[in-house]
A = this chain, B = another copy of it.
Amino acid sequence: MHMRNSKVKISLPDNSGSIEVGSGKFLVVAGPCSIDTRANFLESSRWIKAQGGHALRGAVFKMRTDPKRFQGLGRDGYPILKEIRETLNLPVFTEVVDTRHVEELHPFIDVFQVGARNMYNYELLKELGRQRKPVLLKRAFSATLDEWAGAAEYVLSGGNDNIILCERGTRGFDTHTRNVLDLSSVILMKRRTGLPVLVDPSHGTGRSDLVLPMSLAAAAAGADGLLVEVHADPSKALSDQDQAINLEQFGVLTKKLNQVLSALEKNL
């Protein structure tokens, strides 16, 4: 299965143009795991833009192992998404977790993100195939490459080929990292599907101290970009505290990334 050879375009919120993923430009999508307050999300988003980030991430529906923990702002988060993406003119990636949310989320976001837990939720994938906004499809915890490619086919089967893949680590046996980031998959899936592949070093390791080196490694391996958790104050984040980097660390990351990318004749 080779799906396409071209790039995926993400329109800017004001429709003044678009960002191309899968070209020589390396995409940096950054933001909190889940949006907690308007103020925090605005502060980090401004900083992300200032440091050269191209798009924002931020969930309003957050998948948690334990139903008693913070589940995201839900629909209360929609106006925050709308305001900030328009104010900063940065596309927003947001997780979608139910077929019934696709239509209502549509006007507030730019890219539908399918998390690892929903990669096998084929009804959701088919629903996302019926609309035309790009879909970021994360690899499930222990998805084989065949299963991951099959999931992309479910989106494609509805007629939407604006698919971006994202390697986010697979389940491993060592407890020092949350997951094992499998960079070989990036190379193999790009070649196999023709789709751009991003890397999420935050979930991929679960440790903020590994985000910088693994981001550089992802760039060197040939990934098309990063999905990285950035929070104005990680110690106060309502989810995934251990893996978010702070604003200063994000600044260092983009600087170092640019050095490695230049060596490979790419750039941010």
- Interface residues of chain A, those whose CB is within 8 Å of chain B, are 63-68, 97-100, 116-118, 120-124, 126, 140-142, 144-147, 150, 153-154, 157, 170-177, 180-185, 187-188, 205, 210, 213-214, 216-222, 259-260, 262-264
Contacts and interface: CB of A to CB of B under 8 A. Distances in A.
Residue of A65, A68, A144, A176 contacting most chain B CB atoms (<10 Å): A65
A214 B184 contact: yes
A175 B175 contact: yes
Contacts of A210: 184, 187-188
Give the copy number.
Answer: 4
Contact of A220 (B150, B172, B176, B213): B213
12 contacts: A65-B147, A65-B150, A66-B153, A117-B120, A142-B171, A144-B175, A181-B182, A183-B213, A187-B213, A188-B210, A217-B218, A217-B221
Contact of A172 (B64, B118, B153, B170): B170
Given A67-B122, A188-B210, A219-B220, 6 more contacts: A67-B157, A121-B121, A145-B174, A184-B205, A216-B264, A217-B220
A221 B177 CA distance: 15
Contact of A97 (B67, B123, B184): B123
Contacts of A150: 64-67
Contacts of A100: 99-100, 123
A149 to B, nearest CB: 9
Contacts of A180: 170, 172, 180, 182, 184
A190 to B, nearest CB: 10
Contacts of A183: 181, 183, 213-214, 217
Contacts of A123: 97-98, 100
B184 A144 contact: no
Nearest to A191: B209
